[in-house]
Structure 1
Amino acid sequence: MSHKETFSIHELHYLIGAFDGELMPGLPTLDDIVTASELIWTIAKEELEKKGLVNEDGSLTKAGFVIVETLKEYCLGRTLVILNNFYFMQCRDSNFSILIVDTGQGYQLVKISPMSRLLLLQDKLPLVTRIPLEDEVDFLTERKQLTPDIETALASVQALMVQYYPLEQMCETRHAALLTASYLFVEEEGELLGFDVNQEELYRFSQYYFLERLYSWLAIPFREEDFENGSD
Structure 2
Amino acid sequence: LAYHMQKAETADELIDIWGADHAGTVKRIKAAVAALSEGEGRPIPFDVKLVQMVQLMRGGEPAKMSKRSGNFITIADMVDEVGKDVVRFTMLTRKPEAQMEFDFVKVVEASKDNPVFYVQYAHARIRSTLRKAAEAGFAPSAETLDRLGDEEIALIRRAAQFPREIEAAARAREPHRIAFYLYDLAGDLHAFWNLGNDRVEKRFIVEQDAQLTAARLFLGTAIGQVIHNGLRVLGVEAVESM
TM-score (norm 2): 0.31
- Decide which structure has the larger Cα Rg and report it: 2
TM-score (norm 1): 0.31
Which structure carries more helix by proportion?
2
